[in-house]
Amino acid sequence: MNDKTRLAVLVSGSGSNLQAMIDAQIPNLEISLVISNNPKAYALERIEKYNIKSVVIDHKKYSNREDFEEEIIRTIEPYRINLIALAGFMRILSPYFVRPYKYRIMNIHPALLPSFPGINSVKQALEYGVKFTGCTVHFVDEGVDTGPIILQAVVPIYDKDTEETLLERVHNEEHKIYPEAIKLYSEGRLKISDRRVLISP
């Protein structure tokens, strides 16, 4: 019997990537839990109409990162989660959290890593003058946006682009590749060889 892949999604804001995961209706995947560090995240409103458990763990209520992360781990544990997806989760996770979940945490980043890691990546790409940017789904390691790359999509930058128009096209691609990466994971098709993530046919 194939058990379902149980997914926890960590959010901080709008949750459009979470929405894309829901809309993709990935067979054999259950979105078991959504955790937001921001009590006002629109992501929480989005999921009200679905039967998905959500929990707010407000980082401001913890005096240090380890206690905050400990609470996330404690919350996740009973759900027997196979995969954690960071979807606009704007807190950096320490090695304390990341190490036990090696190759079981994914993140989406709005640039073609290793270019423009960190924050404001779309603005950075526009200001730098690159002709192409895009988005990256990667496994999370102990660095910031440095983990093995699973999927990328390329977005051309046009002369008339503003941050808003470019961000919209980057988001459109994110909403395709993030569910696809999760689907590949749930199908057991991602194999890691050093830094490379190979996709089995």
Cα–Cα–Cα angle for 18, 76, 84, rounded to 5 degrees: 40
Q: Kindly state whether residue 177 participates in binding ligand GAR, applying the rule CB under 6 A.
A: no
Q: Rounded to whole angstroms, how far apart are CA atoms 82 and 162?
A: 39
Decide if 109 is catalytic.
yes
Q: How far is the CB of 175 from ligand GAR (least distance, A)?
A: 8
Q: Kindly state whether residue 54 participates in binding ligand GAR, applying the rule CB under 6 A.
A: no
Q: At what angle do helices 16-23 and 163-186 cross, to 10 degrees?
A: 40
- Measured from the CB atom, the residue of 39 and 188 that comes closer to ligand GAR is 39
- Measured from the CB atom, the residue of 69 and 174 that comes closer to ligand GAR is 174
Cβ neighbour number for residue 92 with a 10 Å cutoff: 13
Q: How many residues of this chain bind ligand GAR (CB under 6 A)?
A: 13
Q: Kindly state whether residue 136 participates in binding ligand GAR, applying the rule CB under 6 A.
A: no
Q: Kindly state whether residue 174 participates in binding ligand GAR, applying the rule CB under 6 A.
A: yes
Q: Which stretch binds ligand GAR (CB under 6 A): 59-67, 71-79, 107-115, 181-189?
A: 107-115
Inter-residue contact 23 to 43 (CB < 8 Å) = no
Q: Kindly state whether residue 85 participates in binding ligand GAR, applying the rule CB under 6 A.
A: no
Q: Kindly state whether residue 15 participates in binding ligand GAR, applying the rule CB under 6 A.
A: yes
Which of 21, 47, 87, 98 binds ligand GAR (CB under 6 A)? It is: 87
Q: Kindly state whether residue 37 participates in binding ligand GAR, applying the rule CB under 6 A.
A: no
Active-site residues, by number, are 109
Residues at the contact surface with ligand GAR, assessed by CB under 6 A: 11, 13-17, 87-88, 108-110, 171, 174
